[in-house]
Structure 1
Amino acid sequence: MKLFDVYPLFDITPVKGLDCYVWDDQGNKYLDLYGGHAVISIGHSHPHYIERITDQVNKIGFYSNSVQNPLQNELAEKLGEASGMPDYQLFLCNSGAEANENALKLASFKTGRSKIISFKKGFHGRTSGAVAITDNPKIVAPFNADHQKEILPLNDLEAVEKSLSKNDVAAVIIEGIQGIGGIVIPDAGFMEGLEKLCKKHGTMLILDEIQSGYGRSGKFFAFQYTSLKPDMVTMAKGMGNGFPVGGVLISPDIEPSYGLLGTTFGGNHLACAASLAVLEVIKEEKLVENSFEQGNLLKNELIKTNKFKEVRGVGLMIGVELTSEVSKLRSGLLRKNHIFTGVSGTNTMRLLPPLTLKRSHVDYFMNSLGDAIESG
């Protein structure tokens, strides 16, 4: 038997990680500026993370959600404190796509409507409803296409108002920062206008913070650069630092009902231990603040080079758009300088490092980037 071929793979096999570095099976050391696709929030193999998970697995690793799990309550309390949203309710699941599916389903249950609005260049996952509202026809199968949805231009309030005026939209879903779409930040005025329109038409507003959340933007959630109070916030990726976990923060205005949502593995003991370790390290090491500081430094250094079409983003979620394809530059950085970076489309390099990034890492990257550009 062989694996189903899904991704083009680099010929590199990481076997060890520590903070912002990984090592391959040949002993080569790499600076990780991609964070395993924005997943590694507190750095690889953080000692507190290892201790929390090891301690928990020595006690009990899993039991179903048919019993009490005090770790879930502890996680909800600490997440409420860290996010500044202590009055919201927490639903725990296993991934970002699953978080979005449950948020969309809950919005539909509560409004009695079925239509969803999302936005051009957005990405919300690869499960049925999530992929249907993602602006990428290549990944939407005929099975997914029957969902009632409308994908509108970002920052176009007039288009949103026209669609919402029919009063048949269950939810509007939008990323705090578009990740796969190229690190695009929605205008603050658009976001705030969106909230007003949703309230006016009885439509729920869902903030997809799966990639932009957990401190990556320099705020706990990227939408917190505005005055928004969304009905739901979805999260995953950096939430577990590599352990599969996702969640939905649900407004206190939405009353729970048994049977609407459910999960077998969501919020299991190990997932909660991993998530608690992440929150504890973020608080202890002031990683949200570090993300803002180092992200501003990195972005400004990139802008100063005057070598790129545009540098976008905030915190440690940065897109570097070239006037040509980015593949050669990324490959050179990986092969010659041992630096992992990501990509959006064909022209944008995506930087999503651990939130523990330091000035020395920024300096090494900038020096390496200059060499890579000069060598062509």
Structure 2
Amino acid sequence: MKLFDVYPLFDINIVKGRGCTVWDDNGQEYLDLYGGHAVISIGHCHPHYIEMVGRQLDMLGFYSNSVINRLQAELAERLGRACGYDDYQLFLINSGAEANENALKLASFTNGRTRVLSAEKAFHGRTSLAVEVTNNPKIIAPINDCGHTTYLPLNDLAAWEAELAKGDVCACIIECIQGVGGIRLATPEFAQGLAEACKRHGAVLICDEIQCGYGRSGRFFAHQWLGIRPDLITVAKGIGNGFPMGAVLISPEFKPVYGQLGTTFGGNHLACTAALAVLDVMEEERLVDNARETGSYLMGQLKALQASCSHITDVRGRGLMVGIELDMPYKDVRNRLVYEEHVFTGCSGTNTLRLLPPLCFTKAMADEFVARLKKCLDAQ
């Protein structure tokens, strides 16, 4: 049997990681400014994480959600305290797409509607409802194209208000910092206006914090820069530092009904232990503060490079979620970074490098990255 060939791959086999560094099977070291799609939050192979997950695995890896799992309740209490939503409810699943699926289902169960407003360039996942609210027709199969979604420009409040006024909108779903969409930031004016309009017209506001959340922006959630409290918040990626996990944070206005939502693997013992270890390290090492401080420093250094390098046309982002827009396709620059300078980054669109390093990223690493990037751009 062969693998189903849907991923274009770098010809590199990563076999080891520590902190913000990974190594391939030839012993070559790489600086990791991508963290496996923003998944690595506390750093690769953090010793506390390894110890906690190993200890739990030695006791019990999995049992079903038909019995009490006190780790789930502990995680709900700890997460609520850490993010400032201790009055919300927590539903645990396995991925970001699944988190968005369940959030959209819960919204529709609540108001009985089916139409969703989503932003142009949005990415919310690859499964049924999640892909339908993703603004990329190349990955929406005909079976997913059910006509539920209206795409609107991010930050065009008048356009969103006009659609909400029609009275048939189930939910509005937004990334407060678009990841795949090119590190585009929602404005406070837009977010606050949208939140108020959703309440006025009976629609549910969902903030997709799967990539921009969990400390990456320099606050626990990116929407907390904007002065809003969404009805539903979806998380994944950094919650488990590589262990597959997702969750929906649910306003107390939503009342749970037995059987309404469900999952086999969600909230299992190993996943909860991984998530608790992540919160331990985030709090002990002040990683949210580090994301804010180091991210600000990194953006400052990149803007200084922009002033002397015509290939950089824009630097944007918040915390350790940064986009570098180039005056050329990113492909050659990204390949030079990987194969010559041994740095992993992400990308979006055709011209933007996307930086999503672990939240333990340091100013010294920022300086090193900028120096290596300069060498690649000078060679163009």
TM bracket, shorter-chain basis: over 0.9
Between the aligned partners of 2:289 and 2:147, the Cα distance in structure 1 is: 40
CA displacement 1:327-359 (0-9 Å, x = unmatched):
111111111111001100110000000000011
Q: Which amino acid aligns with 2:302?
A: L
**Residue 107 of structure 1 corresponds to which residue in structure 2?**
107
**Residue 243 of structure 2 corresponds to which residue in structure 1?**
243
State the 1:366 CA deviation: 1.1
Contact 2:233–2:249, Cα closer than 8 Å, also in 1: yes
Which one of 368, 371, 377 corresponds to residue 364 of structure 1?
368
State the 1:373 CA deviation: 1.4
**Residue 82 of structure 1 corresponds to which residue in structure 2?**
82
CA displacement 1:169-223 (0-9 Å, x = unmatched):
1110000210000000011100000000000001000000000011000000000
Q: Which amino acid aligns with 1:84?
A: G
Between the aligned partners of 2:34 and 2:280, the Cα distance in structure 1 is: 22
**Residue 39 of structure 1 corresponds to which residue in structure 2?**
39
**Residue 49 of structure 1 corresponds to which residue in structure 2?**
49
Between the aligned partners of 1:250 and 1:57, the Cα distance in structure 2 is: 29
State the 1:99 CA deviation: 0.1
Contact 2:173–2:205, Cα closer than 8 Å, also in 1: yes
Between the aligned partners of 1:231 and 1:375, the Cα distance in structure 2 is: 48
Output the aligned Cα RMSD.
Answer: 0.7
Percent pairwise identity: 60
Query: What are the equivalent positions in structure 2 for 1:242-261 lying under 5 Å apart?
Result: 242-261=242-261
CA displacement 1:121-153 (0-9 Å, x = unmatched):
000000010101110000011101114111111
> Which consecutive residues of structure 2, in runs of 5 or more, have no partner in the other structure?
none
Contact 2:187–2:226, Cα closer than 8 Å, also in 1: no
Contact 2:301–2:367, Cα closer than 8 Å, also in 1: no
CA displacement 1:29-61 (0-9 Å, x = unmatched):
000000001000000000000011000000100
SS at 2:185 equivalent: coil
SS at 2:184 equivalent: coil
Query: What are the equivalent positions in structure 2 for 1:69-148 lying under 5 Å apart?
Result: 69-148=69-148
* TM-score in terms of structure 1 length: 0.99
Query: What are the equivalent positions in structure 2 for 1:1-376 lying under 5 Å apart?
Result: 1-305=1-305, 306=307, 307=309, 308-376=312-380
Q: Which amino acid aligns with 1:8?
A: P
State the 1:253 CA deviation: 1.0
Contact 1:20–1:32, Cα closer than 8 Å, also in 2: yes
Contact 2:192–2:228, Cα closer than 8 Å, also in 1: yes
Runs of 4+ deviating beyond 6 Å: none
> Which consecutive residues of structure 1, in runs of 5 or more, have no partner in the other structure?
none
Contact 1:129–1:147, Cα closer than 8 Å, also in 2: no
Aligned residues: 376
